[in-house]
Amino acid sequence: MRGCLLTERNRVNEEELKEVEIIVEPGQGQAELNIGPQHPGSGHMRLVAKIRGDIVEELVLDPGYVHRSVEKLCENRHYMHLIPLVERPTIIDSIHMNMGYIMAVEKIMNLEVPERALYLRSFAAEVNRISSHLYGLGILGIFIGHSTMFMWGFADREPFVEILQNLTGARITNSYVVPGGVRRDLSQSVKEFAIKAVSYLRKKIKDYENIFLNNPNVRARLENVGVISREKAIELGLVGPNLRASGVPYDVRKIEPYAAYQKLDFEIPVYKEGDAFARTLVRMEEVQQSMNMIMQIIKEIPEGEILNQRILKQIPPQRIKKWYEEQKRIVFPGYFASMRPPKGDAISRVEASRGELVYYVVSDGSSIPYRVRMITPSYMLIKPFMEIAKGHRIADIPAIYGSLDYFPPEADR
């Protein structure tokens, strides 16, 4: 290693140089370092770092410690029973997980979704994006030893989790999106709570900038660390905020608008640097864009049904009266479990908080899917993570890990 520090000024004698050369011979002096699998970050996974000195020469990811075989279980359960299952891999981002699957099923069934339900989907998704980004930023904070960011991130995520609880009835595993619409309507109290939460976080964001983004220690840990160029990012199929931090203006919400994104006014933050700091900045700005969208939705949301008429008609009138007309809630009768979409296949994509989420559903006409393929954003990060970490110091691995927002259960599925 010392060999590369050799300059005109500190020249060493020939013998000493020979000694150095022996150490850097290939295969010698390389050590293998296991990181994990006991929860090195945001879930159980193992990183095998091949190091020389403290430089990582190769990083091998060993995922699979939280593998739940969602794809296999999908071939053994009814379409409706899969809704809670598909959101389990990323419980902190469950609205997107749920929505992507439902969109694929709706495509096969050729179901239209009423406009109010589309707005509600966007609303829930953006609230979920904020809570997920704050979680990611908190994890990044504690990774690089900034415990204030960790505490703040997790604390300020709470109001947004609370909004989802008031809207859907559950804090994280919401199962909110159903074929043809959503499960519950937006009430006045949820609206007021959301406005409060947004105005609170808008004030708080300035504190984040002061104490985290403009902190010289944080900058030293993140700037020019884990750089991935635009070409490399495209080639390896990087997704989401990480891709946009490398200068690719790709966002599914703009490229293939779903839910109500066609009608919402928002911007896509893009940075060219491609380093850990740019990825953090993209997340921070996306939180602000999401807050703007939430305010827009509260202002513009149209009146109307929250479930497709075709589905609504199949619910017995007693149930409609008790649940829908009195409490604005959809409660499906048991026979919906054996819903049979027609034969066919569909691929759907949504922009989940960590990036693009792809579902490929194949139906053979029975009440159980023939095949469900789930490509989660963290799954797409596996190969880029290995590539990015090459040539960095061990101390940079947490910064890279945190800035990529890699979430092992999501990658394993």
Partner 1 sequence: MKSLSQLSKPELSKINYVVSELSKLGKEVIKDIKAEGERRGYAELVDRKYILLVSKKMKEIGFDHMKAITGIDFPDQEAIQVVYHFSSYSDLELAKIIFAVKTWVPYDDCKIDSIYNVFPSAYTFERETYEFLGVYFVSHPDMKLFFLPEDFEGVFPLRKSFKIKHEGMFIDREE
Q: Interface residues with partner 1 (CB under 8 A)?
A: 63-64, 67, 69, 71-73, 75-76, 233-237, 243, 248-251, 254-257, 262, 268, 347, 349, 358, 360, 362, 370-371, 373, 375, 379-380, 382-383, 412
What minimum distance in Å lies between the beta carbon of 106 and partner 1?
15
Cα angle 188, 301, 291 (rounded to 5 degrees) comes to 80
- Give the Cα separation of 389 and 227 in Å (integer): 9
Rank residues 63 and 114 by Cβ distance to partner 1 and give the closer one. Answer: 63
Sheet with 355-363, strands from edge to edge, namely 344-352, 355-363, 371-375
DSSP string over 172-183: S----EETTEES
Rank residues 323 and 370 by Cβ distance to partner 1 and give the closer one. Answer: 370
What minimum distance in Å lies between the beta carbon of 248 and partner 1?
5
Rank residues 51 and 375 by Cβ distance to partner 1 and give the closer one. Answer: 375
| Strand ranges, E, within 97-255 | 177-178, 181-182
What minimum distance in Å lies between the beta carbon of 71 and partner 1?
6
- Cα distances (Å, whole numbers) of residue 347 to 102, 125, 202, 251, 304: 11, 20, 36, 17, 28
- Residues of the chain by 3-state class (helix, strand, coil), percent to 5: 55, 15, 35
Q: Which phi-psi region, left, alpha or beta, contains residue 33 (left: φ > 0; alpha: ψ -120 to 50)?
A: beta
What minimum distance in Å lies between the beta carbon of 250 and partner 1?
5
Please compute Rg for the chain using Cα positions.
Answer: 24
- Give the Cα separation of 4 and 261 in Å (integer): 52
Cα angle 42, 394, 138 (rounded to 5 degrees) comes to 30
Rank residues 149 and 239 by Cβ distance to partner 1 and give the closer one. Answer: 239
What minimum distance in Å lies between the beta carbon of 231 and partner 1?
9
What minimum distance in Å lies between the beta carbon of 281 and partner 1?
19
Q: Which residues are 52's β-sheet partners?
A: 30, 55
What minimum distance in Å lies between the beta carbon of 230 and partner 1?
8
Rank residues 123 and 250 by Cβ distance to partner 1 and give the closer one. Answer: 250
- Give the Cα separation of 266 and 284 in Å (integer): 15
Rank residues 51 and 347 by Cβ distance to partner 1 and give the closer one. Answer: 347
What minimum distance in Å lies between the beta carbon of 138 and partner 1?
27
DSSP annotation of 329 reads: B
Which residue shows structure tokens 């909004």?
163
- Give the Cα separation of 233 and 199 in Å (integer): 35
Rank residues 215 and 367 by Cβ distance to partner 1 and give the closer one. Answer: 367
What minimum distance in Å lies between the beta carbon of 136 and partner 1?
21
Rank residues 152 and 379 by Cβ distance to partner 1 and give the closer one. Answer: 379
Rank residues 332 and 401 by Cβ distance to partner 1 and give the closer one. Answer: 401
- The first and second tokens of residue 186, run together, are 């937006």
- The first and second tokens of residue 127, run together, are 């609230």
